[in-house]
Amino acid sequence: MKVLIIGSGGREHALAWKLKQSKKVSRLFIAPGNPGTRLHGENRTIPAEDVEGLRAFALKEQIDLTVVGPELPLTLGIVDAFNSSGLRIFGPTRHAAELEGSKVFCKELMVKYKIPTAWYKKFDNYEKAVSYIETHDGPYVVKADGLAAGKGVLICRTKKEAADAVDLIIRKKAFGVAGKRIIIEEFLEGEEASYLAITDGRTVVPLAPAQDHKAIFDGDRGPNTGGMGAYSPAPLITPALEKEIMETIMVPTVRAMEAEGRPYKGVLYAGLMISGGKPKVLEFNCRFGDPETQPILMRLEDDLFDLLLAAAEERLEGVTLNWGRPAVCVVMSSKGYPGDYRKGDGINGLEEASRLKDVMVFHAGTAMKEGKVVTSGGRVLGVTALGDDIKGAIENAYRAVSLISWDGAYYRLDIGKKAVKG
């Protein structure tokens, strides 16, 4: 069968790598793809947000299944467009994708259906938001309502920091239209975890739990990024806690979306805070997480194509998944990220790292220039490795990282440390 993957990051490279392993996939396209995805399929220079261009391509090539990587095409209605043309596609519709596309909608849904989350207030006015901050003690979490590439969440310890965050989002429009509305949310203490599941709108099939590292610096310090690394499994998520997450968060959310007339099919990704052994939802995403997808797919022992096709065709009932050894992903980024960063630096050591056993180097922000792979994004590579345990996976990942270099390469040194005891 012919498969089309939409997107160009590390998540899409991981999807391409895993889908190409299926004996049922005869031809694989990635639009627009990157230098890494072309190792597994055929790149096509169609932007991920070009819904009509992608639909025309899928019709022309008679694509059997399209898999959407990033959130933007989902919120633009690509699933609706493909469905209207009789094309099979994996992902939620535009109305269902509002679960990620609007934090206000997401919070209102959770409150209505008693899905555990932090208390919040919504604002579209600077003065009213600042007045609220003055009458409430911190810390505060200030969030842009819309999509902001994982950077629209600001943790503020003081009233001044919170007021500055409101100014940045509403007045200075740092995140454009995504910041027309904001929410000010209770700051939850605890440890974060990522919990992903595949759903066909009725059945919810859990993926292996993972833990992301959002902050740029070691020790979870500094501004948030799109993710500086991840590992799976996450020891924090015990079997009992996993059962509670499924029963109080994942399944109720799919049921709530159905009750709201927005049936949800695709990946449901819950960003969780675990506090006192209890989970609360920080946010939902409507697609595979990045970088969590990299270690999760490295561990998956089943055919990913079968899984995604079954979800698209609403026949997930009875499906269970099998998981292999632990995996760790270390993200290598450009100096300056998540702020301004340079592009076009030549990357050395890719072939040497890729030859290591149990290692995959997933391209995230790379391009080709005069026959050489160069940097083209903030997050450049997701170096991912398996190990007999988390500690072994960490060692294998950093061994590969040590072989790769470019001018200004940066990465955290403590990815996975939380999962290693002693």
User: What value does the mean pLDDT take over residues 207-231?
Assistant: 93
Q: Extract the tokens encoding 245.
A: 């997450």
Topology classification of domain 327-419: Glycinamide Ribonucleotide Synthetase; Chain A, domain 4 (3.90.600)
Is residue 422 scored above 70 in pLDDT? Answer: no
User: What value does the mean pLDDT take over residues 178-202?
Assistant: 94
Report the alpha-carbon distance of residue 251 to residue 264 in Å, rounded. 11
What is the secondary structure of 36-77 as a DSSP string?
TGGGTSEE----TT-HHHHHHHHHHHT-SEEEE-SHHHHHTT
Query: Architecture of 191-312 per CATH?
Result: 2-Layer Sandwich (3.30)
Report the alpha-carbon distance of residue 35 to residue 365 in Å, rounded. 9
Question: What is the location of CATH 3.40.50.20 in the chain?
Answer: 2-91
User: What value does the mean pLDDT take over residues 405-419?
Assistant: 96
Q: What is the pLDDT of residue 352?
A: 97
Which of the given ranges, 61-65, 274-278, 418-422, has the highest pLDDT on average? 61-65
Chain mean pLDDT for the chain = 95
pTM assigned to the model: 0.93
Q: What is the pLDDT of residue 152?
A: 86
User: With contact defined as beta carbons under 8 Å apart, do 384 and 295 qualify?
Assistant: yes
Topology classification of domain 2-91: Rossmann fold (3.40.50)
Report the alpha-carbon distance of residue 62 to residue 80 in Å, rounded. 17
Q: What is the pLDDT of residue 31?
A: 98
Q: Residue 114: name the closest of 253, 276, 260 by CA.
A: 253
User: How large a percentage of the chain has pLDDT more than 90?
Assistant: 93
pLDDT band at 276 (very low <50, low <70, confident <90, very high): confident
Question: What is the location of CATH 3.30.1490.20 in the chain?
Answer: 125-180
Beta strands in 146-209 (DSSP E): 153-156, 182-186, 191-199, 204-206
Q: Which CATH number is 125-180's, of 1.10.620.20, 3.30.2130.30, 3.30.1490.20, 3.40.50.300?
A: 3.30.1490.20
pLDDT tens digits for range 349-398 = 999 999 999 999 999 999 999 999 999 999 999 999 999 999 999 999 99
pLDDT band at 151 (very low <50, low <70, confident <90, very high): confident
pLDDT band at 137 (very low <50, low <70, confident <90, very high): confident
Question: What is the location of CATH 3.30.470.20 in the chain?
Answer: 191-312
User: What value does the mean pLDDT take over residues 210-225?
Assistant: 92
User: With contact defined as beta carbons under 8 Å apart, do 187 and 140 qualify?
Assistant: yes
Report the alpha-carbon distance of residue 270 to residue 260 in Å, rounded. 19
Report the alpha-carbon distance of residue 296 to residue 288 in Å, rounded. 10
By CB atoms closer than 10 A (0-12, 13-18, 19+), residue 42 is middle
User: How large a percentage of the chain has pLDDT more than 70?
Assistant: 100
DSSP collapsed to 3 states, 131-144: HHHHCCCCCEEEEE
- 3 state DSSP class of 4: strand
pLDDT tens digits for range 225-243 = 889 999 999 999 999 999 9
User: With contact defined as beta carbons under 8 Å apart, do 159 and 133 qualify?
Assistant: yes
Task: Give 366's strand partners.
Answer: 375
DSSP 228: S
Question: What is the location of CATH 3.90.600.10 in the chain?
Answer: 327-419
